[in-house]
Amino acid sequence: MSEPGWLGASDSEPPDSSTWGPTADWPALRLRAELLRRTRDFFDRRGFLEVETPLLSADTVVDRHLDPFAVQVGKQVCYLQTSPEFAMKRLLAAGGQAIYQITKAFRQEELGPLHNPEFTLVEWYRAGDGLTEGMNLLDELCQAVLQRGPARQVSYRQAFLEHAEIDPLTAPLSALRAATLRTGTPPESLRHDDRDGWLDLILVEQVQPHLGQDQPAILYDYPASQSALAQVREEDPPVAERFELFVAGMELANGYHELLDPQVLRRRNATNNAARVADGKQPLPEHCRLLAAMEAGLPQSAGVALGFDRLVMVAAGAKRLDQVMPFPFDWA
């Protein structure tokens, strides 16, 4: 079957009559169903409760890089959720202990072999867990569902030292900029003073291709400036208790030892919105019901969001999302 065009057709063009059938073949769809079964079985055996939360909400994660779809509902602007994170944490604050969800999520991002605006996310939280427990549970899931592992757990700093020969936590900006020249000319859109932008470029081009090749890799202890909704551990220098799973050089999951302080979240929301404005994007609502839930008391916990479509890609040996989902964006 022909490969879908990732740019999409214009509104004035009729649908392509050749795109009525699925882009994934039946063996891939059967494998997808089997991996869904294994995922549910993994959590059910460990006493997790499967939950459902709204896809459409007035609240949304405020992130510099995540752009939600806005939907007008009467006089109110709502958002298709980029992740069920906010609502699931509200359930934790209301007494949830171990919860998981398999749901659709939506993000406005460039279309491509690894990106589709609508995708399937597996997300889970367990009260009482810290960084180590969160990473270990993710490793167990990878072994049970993908039948790969155990994972190598390596710090963000160590991975940069091994593969880019630079210390990401202490190197001056000038050294980071110089390091990117090994793999070509940096994009013109990358601001001269954007430290996290330069780190991301080095990660993607020089570090990530080496991660998870022989065995899955879990990268942890990110720079504090990339904490998102993770706790920061006060060391010298401080690090974010955040972790990500990589298999065959591809990111599959992102997890946090979860932030508990609502005042810190307020400050981070403001900082993220300032960065969005500097990037030429619209700010997102900073006030949300999660803040009230955190004020009421969010338990210590670790949470993870895993891209299920990418997990199926790895299991199938596929190179593109359209090989493992029946109807990607341009065929939907």
Interatomic CA distance for residues 235 and 103, integer angstroms: 36
**% of the chain at pLDDT higher than 90:** 88
Q: What average pLDDT does this structure show over 267-279?
A: 94
pTM: 0.92
Closest C-alpha to 121, from 299, 314, 312? 312
The chain-wide mean pLDDT, for the chain, equals 94
How far lies 195's CA from each of 21, 164, 179, 192, in Å? 45, 16, 12, 8
- Tell me the pLDDT band of 183, cut-offs 50, 70 and 90: confident
Spell out the SS3 assignment of the chain. Answer: CCCCCCCCCCCCCCCCHHHCCCCCCHHHHHHHHHHHHHHHHHHHHCCCEECCCCCEECCCCCCCCCCCCEEEECCEEEEECCCCHHHHHHHHHCCCCEEEEEEEEECCCCCECCECCEEEEEEEEEECCCHHHHHHHHHHHHHHHHCCCCCEEEEHHHHHHHHCCCCCCCCCHHHHHHHHHHHCCCCCCCCCCCHHHHHHHHHHHHHHHHCCCCCCEEEEEEEHHHCCCECEECCCCCEEEEEEEEECCEEEEEEEEECCCHHHHHHHHHHHHHHHHHCCCCCCCCCCHHHHHHHHHCCCEEEEEEEHHHHHHHHHCCCCHHHCCCCCHHHC
pLDDT higher than 60, residue 3: no
- Checking if the pLDDT of 305 tops 90, the result is yes
Residue 110 confidence class, pLDDT cut points 50, 70, 90: confident
In tens, the pLDDT along 138-151 reads 999 999 999 998 99
Chain centroid to CA 19: 29
1-128+304-332 carries CATH number 3.30.930.10: yes
Question: How high is the pLDDT of residue 7?
Answer: 40
Q: Give the span between the Cα atoms of 199 and 207, in whole angstroms.
A: 10
Q: Residue 12 — pLDDT band, cuts 50, 70, 90?
A: low
Whether pLDDT at 85 is above 80: yes
pLDDT digits (tens, 9 = 90+) for 185-220: 888 888 888 999 999 999 999 999 999 999 999 999
- Report residue 2's pLDDT band, with 50, 70 and 90 as the boundaries: very low
**pLDDT for 9:** 44
Q: Which of 1-5, 146-150, 180-184, 319-323 has the highest mean pLDDT?
A: 319-323
pLDDT (tens digit, 9 = 90+) per residue, 71-81?
Answer: 999 999 999 99
